[in-house]
């Protein structure tokens, strides 16, 4: 089921349960990074459970109530249907048209114009940079060899802090003071078994062969007014083009 993420971003769903006025344990699982939100929700007199879904990102979520599982897709529409109509029937018509326009646009621009949470899995290169190949906007979490080393929500709990470079092409460790790049990725020299002294090699960056899992915010946090204003203006052309593409023989002309 698709749930539109529109102002005031109250992305809630109604789920029919067995008993009225009863507390139910609810687990909401983000299908991107598998993070979970647990809560207890009380059903109303009609045995309806009103469950709130995360509204910051476009994504897919699983709601689990005991052994029952429900799946929802939260998506920010390219145009808010609630602002295009005044009656329920008008809003419903605009909702349908927006979904058609969005499907056509996404068939051409495969990444769409969404704001999503994404997971990057990669290995260190022995440098103080880790290349990015997606349009990342913010680093949320960093795992090094499956051990958490950074969490944007609890930065004070970790010694290291990470940031996206100014040109948006890589991730680097954040430093508040001066640094010398020549002292960045020091060589790690094996120590013979007969050595008695403990030698520490200082390392700055992403160790070679280390595994990194990085969760980031990616995409379009805000849509341009030009894009919004022209989505419905171009809808007739998009629908006509879409219908022609379906009607065209597969063998060509």
Instruction: Give CA–CA dist 118/97, Å, rounded.
Output: 28
Token reading at 140: 């949320």
Place 7 in a pLDDT band, splitting at 50, 70 and 90: confident
Which stretch of 16-30, 52-66, 89-103, 238-252 has the lowest confidence by average pLDDT?
Answer: 238-252
The H or E element that residue 88 is part of is helix 88-108
DSSP state for residue 189 in the 8-state scheme: P
The closest of 22, 27, 14, 218 to 115, measured between CA atoms, is 218
| pLDDT confidence of residue 242 | 53
Distance CA 90, CA 98 (A): 12
> Do the beta carbons of residue 210 and residue 123 sit within 8 Å?
yes
In the predicted model, what is the mean pLDDT of residues 6-33? 93
> For residue 10, what pLDDT band results from cuts at 50, 70 and 90?
confident
Task: Examine the pLDDT at 165 and tell me if it is beyond 80.
Answer: yes
Note if the pTM is more than 0.85: no
pLDDT of residue 244: 52
What spatial distance separates the first Cα and last Cα of the chain, rounded to whole Å?
A: 39
The answer on pLDDT for 83 being more than 60 is yes
- Nearest 5°: the CA angle 117, 208, 165 is 45
- 133-144: average pLDDT: 94
Residue 216 CA, chain-centre distance (Å), reads 7
User: 163 - beta bridge partners?
Assistant: 172
Domains defined along the chain, listed by start? 2-110 (2.60.40.10), 115-219 (no CATH)
Average pLDDT, the chain: 83
Q: Residue 33 has which token pair?
A: 């990074």
């Amino acid at each position: 089921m698709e749930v539109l993420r529109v102002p005031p971003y109250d992305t809630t769903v109604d789920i029919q349960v067995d008993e009225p006025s009863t507390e139910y344990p609810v687990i909401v699982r983000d299908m991107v990074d598998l993070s979970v939100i647990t809560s207890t929700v009380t059903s109303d007199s009609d045995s309806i459970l009103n469950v709130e879904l995360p509204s910051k990102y476009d994504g897919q979520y699983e709601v689990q109530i005991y052994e029952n599982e429900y799946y929802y897709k939260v998506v920010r529409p390219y145009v808010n249907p609630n602002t295009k109509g005044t009656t329920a029937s008008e809003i419903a018509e605009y909702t349908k048209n927006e979904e058609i326009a969005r499907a056509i646009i996404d068939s051409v621009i495969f990444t769409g114009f969404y704001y999503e949470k994404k997971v990057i899995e990669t290995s260190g290169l022995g440098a103080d940079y880790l290349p990015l190949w997606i349009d990342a906007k913010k680093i949320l979490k960093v795992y090094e060899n499956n051990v958490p080393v950074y969490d944007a929500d609890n930065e004070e709990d970790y010694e290291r802090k990470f940031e996206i470079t100014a040109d948006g092409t890589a991730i680097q460790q954040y430093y508040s003071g001066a640094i010398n790049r020549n002292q960045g990725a020091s060589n790690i020299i094996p120590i013979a078994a007969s050595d008695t002294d403990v030698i520490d090699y200082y390392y700055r960056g992403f160790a070679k062969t280390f595994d990194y899992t990085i969760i980031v915010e990616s995409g379009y946090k805000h849509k341009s007014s030009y894009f919004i204003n022209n989505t419905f203006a171009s809808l007739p052309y998009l629908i006509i083009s879409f219908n022609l593409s379906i009607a065209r023989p597969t063998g060509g002309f």
